[in-house]
Structure 1
Amino acid sequence: MAPTTTTVPEIELNNGTTIPQFGLGVFQIPEEDTAEAVRGALELGYRHLDTAQMYRNEQGVGEGIRQSGVPREDIFVTTKLANDAQGHDPAITALEGSLQRLGTDYVDLYLIHWPLPAKHLYVKTWRAFEEITRSGKARAVGVSNFQPAHLDALAEKTDLVPAVNQIELHPYLQQAELREYHRAHGIATEAWSPIAQGEVLGDDVVKGLADKHGKSAAQVVLRWHVQLGNIVFPKSVTPDRVKENIDIFDFELDADDLKAIETLEAGHRTGFDPDTFEG
């Protein structure tokens, strides 16, 4: 399949590192299928890959990168700390394991996967992340699923502002207040579950906009994310869908389209609540 000619925009993070605004997520892709999915995406022009220790497919991500022939320095790789590895020393040791599985000397972004507030470890973990950035083994560090109270705790007790916060975000859970917090503090917003596990694709508003623009429902929602300024990385192992997903830079939603999607806010989560989830 021919590579896309699309140029994906890049966003500058608060430490000067740049990240492609669009990428491939590998959540729930089995290890044995991951290398092929990654290689195929890279052949189509993707340059941003999002994995995690808990996904158990980092080795496949690394193998897909090697098979693709794309230079490592041209690819932005994110991984996330496993919940059972929180704490200062475990977080550092866990990254060493990720680097070994990925077959690389560094990751571009290392995230605390969940705050797990009842365990009271995320501040200690973040201090380890500060050390990791100084070591050069992660070009940037951030968090995932953090609420304002968790981010405030980091600001009060540590010196480094997270580069990103990766959160569940889709038309049924638009996270306007949290996104505004990010803007005010220089934190980039990354969206996981960007199409709400497919739930929004049958929505009449979304389908109407798809008809209007001659695009698929998924393309409309992914374009909405990009226009909001979100970093987004939908997951798919189907080559045609992977190609379709990134083909969103040749049209634009207008102000009325954006307002129509804004009305879909429902406070609906497809995943866990960060305030109560304990891994």
Structure 2
Amino acid sequence: MTPAALDLQSILTLNDGNRIPCLGFGTYEMSGTQAYDAVTEALNAGYRHIDSATWYENEKQCGQAILDFCKATGTQRSAIFYTTKLMINTSYDDTMKAIQFSLDECGLGYIDLYLIHGPLGGPNARKECWRAICDSQKEGKLKSIGVSCFGVRHLEEILAMGLVVPAINQIDLHPFMTRSAIVKFCQEHKIALEAWAPLVRGLRFDHPAIVSLARKYNKEPAQVLLRYSLQKNYVAIPKSVSKTRIMSNTNIFDFELEPQEVMDLDGLDEALVTDWDPSDLEAFIATGIDARQLASNISLCWRRLSVSVPQATAIHFAPSFYFDSDIDQVVPSCSRPFVPYAQAEDRYARQQSRNEVGYIEPNVKSDLIRARSFRPSSPADLHVGTVKCRGGLVRASILLPRIYWEHGIDRKYRLDSQKALVAPSRRSLGDEFTRGNSSVPVLPIVLIQ
């Protein structure tokens, strides 16, 4: 497809023959009500591609909005492309249950695109999840299947299985993070690329190059960035809860960036991570990189707690691995608990109790993880230990995010003069993190070899 031929109904043909709308609508960090309203607005504006995830806790509302729109307008279900994602990488059986959960939640009968949301859990878990996803595709539950946030090494693992080649890799991709190695690999293997933060979360709207192009074409910076993604042949997934911006993001088909301008935008690459970067997952143990060097630039961020994270954040909670022994072997004890986690046999029930904070004790089924905050002695405290898990003994690294020490999280958060994290909303982080000025919370980075 040539750039000049692009319009709101433009599609990209995937390697499995299925077709995906080039411009999608994302629902990350939207509550159920927000997602329903925003998806309804997006569909009315002409979007035909809706992106959700189990992690977002809005699959039900996204599905209902699609069904209601189809009923009200006479639109066929097949005209709407719906994506959702696997939240936790554990096992074949858990993945099959997760797929059925997503099908039940959305109520759409089938899922157009199902992705592994991230390369967490280690090689064995990734492979078992992919095997289950391939089998579900054979059963007709999933039309297309792919991955998200996968680096080259993770993709090579999947391809080596000799099963279905992922149709898409959905990654952080924009002029300030061009990911040439991943892009080249995907193009060589006919894996489509999908940009989940094509607007760079607004972090570079005021960049001179973006502003200049916006003025030249009488467009907004967001529209220039979206046009760039489409002309790179990427699927773009902007998101907004604003009706005005939802409409504005579709107003990108009456201009075309010149080839040199696209190349110039490629030259802006600064490895700007807007959320989390999977490329170094498990890198500590695999390569022996010193954690203190890594702390300021690794951005393994899985925003379970709805934290809006700037560039240099090193935050990551790894929910995909369940330890049978006390995680105090790795993380020192302290007086306050950290992240709750529901029992695996009722894993999805935690959707209804996400905001609760309290101690979760390991059980005999090895289906819980416990982590705690502690008082760091430096911005990059690292605790390496051996923990017992279902697969045997593994090494795990826990890294204190430097961001907590040096910077505030974003507009919603700040560090007070005693370096304690202050969160105004229990919905976002929880009261537990504000207890005492000398304690800095830790989101553990668990890197399993």
Per the shorter chain, which TM-score range?
Answer: over 0.9
Contact kept in structure 2, 1:88 and 1:127, CA below 8 Å: yes
Query: C-alpha displacement at 1:233, in angstroms?
Result: 1.1
Structure 1 residue aligned with 2:68? 67
Q: Does the aligned pair in 1 maintain the 2:123–2:157 contact within 8 Å?
A: no
Take 1:100 and 1:240, find their aligned partners in 2: how far apart are those partners?
A: 32
1:204-262 CA-to-partner distances (Å, cap 9, x unmatched) read 10000000011110000000000000001100011110111011111100023112212
Aligned to 1:200, the other structure's residue is in SS state coil
What is residue 18 of structure 2 aligned with on the other side?
A: 17
Unaligned runs of 5+ in 1: 1-5
Higher helix share: 1
SS at match of 1:94: helix
- In structure 2, the residue matched to 1:107 is 111
Q: Does 1:158 align with 2:162?
A: yes
Residue 210 (structure 2) pairs with residue 206 (structure 1): yes
Q: Does structure 1 retain, via aligned residues, the 8 Å contact 2:16–2:144? A: yes
Q: Determine the structure 2 residue equivalent to 1:249.
A: 253
The CA deviation string for residues 111-150 of structure 1, in whole angstroms up to 9 with x for no partner, is 0001115463101110111101100000010000111111
Equivalent-residue separation in structure 2 for 1:81 and 1:158 (angstroms): 21
Indicate the residue corresponding to 1:82 in structure 2.
Answer: 87
1:221 pairs with 2:222: no
- Give the superposed CA RMSD: 1.3
Gaps of 5+ in 2: 1-6, 282-299, 301-317, 320-449
Paired residue secondary structure (2:204)? helix
Instruction: Tell whether the 8 Å contact from 1:126 to 1:154 is kept in structure 2 after alignment.
Output: yes
Answer whether contact 2:16 2:167 (CA < 8 A) is retained. Answer: yes
Structure 1 Cα separation of the partners of residues 127 and 191 of structure 2 = 17
What is aligned with 1:44?
45
1:106/1:50 Cα in 2 relative to 1: closer, same or farther (>3 Å)?
same
Larger radius of gyration: 2
1:23-53 Cα shifts (integer Å, max 9, x gaps): 1000011112111111111011110000000
| Contact 1:171 1:195 (C-alpha < 8 Å) held by counterparts | no
Say which SS state the counterpart of residue 121 (structure 1) adopts: helix
Which of 277, 284, 290 is the equivalent residue of 1:273? Answer: 277
2:255 and 2:216 map into 1 onto residues whose CA distance is: 11
Q: Within the alignment, does 1:262 sit opposite 2:266 as a pair?
A: yes
Q: Structure 2 CA distance, aligned partners of 1:119 and 1:14?
A: 24
Counterpart of 1:12, as a letter, is: T
> Is the 1:81–1:111 contact (alpha carbons within 8 Å) kept by the matching residues of 2?
yes
Q: Secondary structure at the match of 1:246?
A: coil
Alpha carbons 1:171, 1:200 under 8 Å: kept = no
Normalised to the residue count of structure 1, the TM-score between the two structures is: 0.94
Distance of 1:158 and 1:248 partners within structure 2: 39
Task: Give me the whole-angstrom Cα distance separating, in 2, the residues matched to 1:7 and 1:202.
Answer: 26
CA contact (8 A) 2:8 2:23 kept: no
Q: Quick one: which amino acid aligns to residue 44 of structure 1?
A: A
2:60 and 2:270 mapped to 1: Cα distance?
37
Given that 2:8 and 2:47 are in contact with CA atoms closer than 8 Å, whether structure 1 keeps it comes out as: no
